[in-house]
């Protein structure tokens, strides 16, 4: 009989040097529960992933002799930040020291060692190579940005996208300059929600936002000036409203609708998409009538209470989101869920049942899995009850596992598209 494979703890010293602890078996977290990682839980660390040291956090492992969960120093906890196309299945297991700083807003995935090879708790959920990191941050990008600014010197959106492309390394911003695939056009400095993990605006006492929100509303001409050539010239062209550097795009739905009509009066090429919380049904209906092709609706939970706790909506609720989805589908628009996932929460039975019911009622066509960017302990404090609890009001629920959720959706809805990226609907 062959020797069983044992995964061991991966950690980091303060300089970022990766450490391996062969005296402790690898442990990860689902919600607030520690679980020992098994070989079936992990894949090799993919190209394009980055490693993140979690300061003032001691990794947890299983003692090689007793199997008990123990602090597995030396070193600090380590996590992977996955490239697009991968969905994490566990978050890192650690114990925070007093006064440990709040972690920046990234999707932290559990990592371990399989012998000398680093592995990560994740599954691949999309194969489209257009989002491979090798296509981005190319040497010619600064020159492309400078050339575009020379052609459209007065376009404020372009100046915003230049910052996003070069400073924030935003892929959809870069695609506008590369003239290819999905390109983002931000339009809204305001939002009608205050999501716990918002990447463009956080209270001063929280963690810093990785992107600064735009501070202006563009003119329709500024939108058309960028959208039209991209749709006419780019392969697999998508123009997306609702980017990380803005608030809720439907707050400026009149600008988007007018721009959409102007674009569609000149070309039927490419796909026009809105990434939205879908809280404003009137706006969604108006955008459909203006020719919008698709909507990607951000959603952490399909249950009213957790939805409200995370998204913190103003002037709308989950029922309005459902009405918007149904309205878009009835008008022929393509609708996907931007499904924000967190292991140990998303895979609770009440959560799975609720999202399945929503898909069935509204005829959602695609679920795009997104690793929620947040400090796991911040999420736990708000969305979970702490150690020994799985979710507020869900103490008897058992997490099924993120991979099992994906498989369940595929079984229940054979025509449902599972992935991570918006799809081009027009040539």
pLDDT of residue 209: 60
> Which parts of 204-248 fold into alpha helices (H)?
220-233
- Alpha-carbon distance 323 to 327, whole Å? 6
236: which strand partners?
Answer: none
pLDDT tens-place values along the chain, 427 residues long: 344 568 999 999 998 899 999 999 999 999 888 999 999 999 999 999 999 999 999 999 999 889 899 999 889 999 999 998 999 999 999 999 999 999 999 999 999 999 999 999 999 999 888 999 899 999 999 999 999 999 999 999 999 999 999 999 999 999 999 999 999 999 999 999 999 988 766 564 555 566 678 999 999 999 999 999 999 999 999 999 998 889 999 999 999 999 999 999 999 999 999 999 999 999 999 999 999 999 999 999 999 999 999 999 999 999 999 999 999 999 999 999 999 999 999 999 999 999 999 999 999 999 999 999 999 999 999 998 644 333 334 445 578 899 999 999 999 999 999 999 999 998 6
Other Cβ atoms closer than 10 A to 417? 15
The structure tokens listed for 246 are: 């803005």
- Alpha-carbon distance 54 to 327, whole Å? 43
pLDDT of residue 42: 97
pLDDT of residue 174: 98
The structure tokens listed for 409 are: 């959706």
pTM: 0.92
- Alpha-carbon distance 183 to 139, whole Å? 19
Q: Which helix (H) or strand (E) holds 19?
A: strand 18-30
Fold of 131-419: TIM Barrel (3.20.20)
Other Cβ atoms closer than 10 A to 305? 11
The structure tokens listed for 130 are: 């257009």
Other Cβ atoms closer than 10 A to 266? 11
Distance of CA 289 to the CA centre of its chain: 28
371: which strand partners?
Answer: 341
CA atoms within 13 A on the CB side of 419: 15
pLDDT of residue 282: 98
pLDDT of residue 385: 60
Indicate the angle between helix axes 318-330 and 281-290, nearest 10 degrees.
20
In the chain, residues under CATH classification 3.20.20.70 are 131-419
The answer to whether residues 383 and 389 touch, using CB atoms and an 8 Å cutoff, is: no
Other Cβ atoms closer than 10 A to 134? 10
CA distances, 64 to each of 113, 125, 149, 389 (Å): 14, 33, 59, 27
């Amino acid at each position: 009989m062959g020797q069983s494979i044992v995964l061991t703890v991966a950690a980091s010293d303060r300089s970022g040097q990766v450490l391996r602890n062969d005296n402790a078996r690898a442990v990860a977290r689902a919600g607030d529960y520690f679980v020992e990682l098994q070989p079936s839980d992990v894949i090799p660390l993919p190209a394009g992933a980055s490693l993140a040291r979690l300061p003032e956090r001691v990794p947890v492992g299983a003692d090689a002799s007793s199997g008990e969960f123990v602090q597995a120093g030396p070193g600090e906890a380590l996590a992977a930040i996955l490239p697009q196309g991968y969905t994490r299945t566990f978050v890192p297991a650690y114990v925070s020291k007093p006064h440990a700083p709040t972690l920046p807003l990234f999707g932290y995935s559990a990592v371990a060692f399989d012998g000398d090879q680093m592995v990560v708790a994740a599954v691949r959920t999309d194969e489209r190579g257009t989002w491979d990191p090798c296509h981005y941050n190319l040497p010619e990008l600064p020159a492309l940005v400078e050339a575009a600014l020379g052609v459209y010197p007065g376009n404020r959106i372009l100046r915003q996208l230049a910052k996003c492309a070069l400073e924030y390394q935003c892929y959809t911003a870069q695609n506008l300059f590369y003239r290819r695939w999905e390109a983002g056009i931000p339009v809204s400095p305001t939002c009608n929600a205050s999501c716990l993990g918002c990447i463009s605006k956080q209270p001063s006492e929280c963690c810093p936002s990785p992107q600064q929100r735009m501070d202006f509303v563009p003119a329709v001409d500024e939108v058309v000036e960028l959208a039209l050539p991209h749709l006419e010239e780019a392969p697999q062209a998508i123009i997306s409203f609702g980017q990380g550097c803005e608030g809720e795009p439907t707050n400026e739905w009149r600008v988007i609708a007018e721009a959409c009509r102007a674009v569609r009066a000149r070309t039927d090429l490419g796909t026009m998409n809105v990434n939205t919380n879908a809280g404003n049904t009137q706006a969604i209906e108006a955008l459909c009538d203006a020719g919008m092709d698709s909507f990607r609706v951000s959603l952490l939970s399909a249950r009213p209470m957790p939805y409200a706790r995370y998204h913190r909506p103003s002037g709308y609720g989950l029922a309005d989101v459902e009405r918007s989805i149904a309205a878009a589908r009835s008008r022929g628009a393509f609708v996907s869920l931007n499904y924000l996932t967190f292991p140990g929460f998303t895979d609770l039975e009440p959560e799975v049942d609720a999202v399945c019911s929503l898909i069935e009622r509204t005829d959602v066509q695609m679920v795009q899995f997104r690793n929620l960017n947040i400090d796991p302990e911040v999420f736990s404090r708000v969305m979970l009850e702490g150690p020994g609890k799985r979710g507020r009001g869900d103490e008897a629920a058992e997490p099924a596992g993120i991979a099992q959720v994906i498989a369940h959706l595929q079984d229940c809805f054979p025509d449902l598209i599972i992935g991570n990226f918006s799809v081009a609907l027009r040539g």
